[in-house]
Amino acid sequence: MIAFRLELRRSRGLIVWLGLTLFAYGGVMGLMHPFMRENDALIQQYMDAFPEGFAAAFGMNGILSDPGVFFTTYIASWLWPIIAATAAILTGTRAVAADLDRGFLDLPLATRVSRARYLAASIWTQVVVMAVLSVTAVVGMWGFGRLAGAEFDLLRFLLGGVLCFSFGLAIAGPITLLSVITLSRGTTSAIVGGVLVAMYAIFVVTQIAEDWAWLGPLSAWHHFGTTALIDEGVFPMGDAALFAAFAVGGWLAALWAFRRRDLAA
């Protein structure tokens, strides 16, 4: 519990600044939604000027003022993955890789706290941070949108937040494992960043070129269907379970590896 409270205290600034970014951006876009809805025809003409498949690559399948398309375009397709990856890298690498580099890791491990409990505290912190940020990601847009007269359904937006939460954890689990294996925040960040960029590139290609659609399941964005969720209210249990499997699998492997990891290597 002491290690968990320490990790939470060290994450306060991260939660505040990333949360404010999500809340402010989502709030501004929520206020703009009624304007976009009133100018659907004009905006659609503008979108038609882009190459075929371009809009689909950024989640703009349909009318932009549609709540699901709107949330996906301005939150889920790019901002949330960036915020989630940033939070996951900073919290997932701090307890082992970053603290080892600073010379801090020897202090907690010299106490009666076991390695497993110490890393578990970091994992629970990752869960809390991602939960707070995912709620912030939807509340700002929903709240300010409602104030401006947008017809946003609270339950469906919250379900969108749950899917954002599971997406973020699917990044955090493997990051924690890579942090233990590499003992380097820089190396871990480079690997994760490269994989995420590659998966997004695959998603874009599969949206533009139908012949490559078979590659779609390899991208996390393929399983991150917030548009249908918000518009139809049907939660993608299979995709959320897949994200959860990556998160839990990464964390369990990290706990196992950390118990045996030679920190002097």
The answer to whether residue 47 scores a pLDDT higher than 80 is: no
> Could you say which DSSP state residue 51 is in?
P
Residues 6+ apart with CB under 8 A from 214: none
Q: Give phi and psi for 81, each to the nearest 5.
A: -55, -35
The answer to whether residue 46 scores a pLDDT higher than 70 is: no
Q: Are 65 and 29 in contact (CB under 8 A)?
A: no
The answer to whether residue 207 scores a pLDDT higher than 90 is: no
In this structure, the number of other CB atoms found within 10 A of the CB of residue 31 comes to 16
The rounded distance, in Å, linking the Cα atoms of 91 and 136 is 18
In this structure, the number of other CB atoms found within 10 A of the CB of residue 85 comes to 21
Burial of 103 (0-12, 13-18, 19+ CB in 10 A): exposed
**pLDDT tens profile 96-149:** 988 888 888 877 777 788 888 999 999 999 999 999 999 999 999 999 999 988
Q: How far is residue 261 from each of residues 118, 172, 193, 207, measured CA to CA in Å?
A: 14, 19, 24, 42
The rounded distance, in Å, linking the Cα atoms of 33 and 136 is 18
The answer to whether residue 81 scores a pLDDT higher than 80 is: yes
The rounded distance, in Å, linking the Cα atoms of 181 and 175 is 10
Mean pLDDT of the chain: 89
- Kindly state the helix (H) or strand (E) to which residue 198 belongs, with its residue range: helix 185-208
User: 219: helix, coil or strand?
Assistant: coil
* pLDDT band at 2; cut points 50, 70, 90: confident
Lowest mean pLDDT among 42-51, 87-96, 185-194: 42-51
Burial of 1 (0-12, 13-18, 19+ CB in 10 A): exposed
- Kindly state the helix (H) or strand (E) to which residue 220 belongs, with its residue range: none
Q: How far is residue 192 from each of residues 86, 116, 198, measured CA to CA in Å?
A: 10, 23, 10
pLDDT at residue number 58: 63
The answer to whether residue 216 scores a pLDDT higher than 70 is: yes
Is the model more confident about 6 or about 142? 142
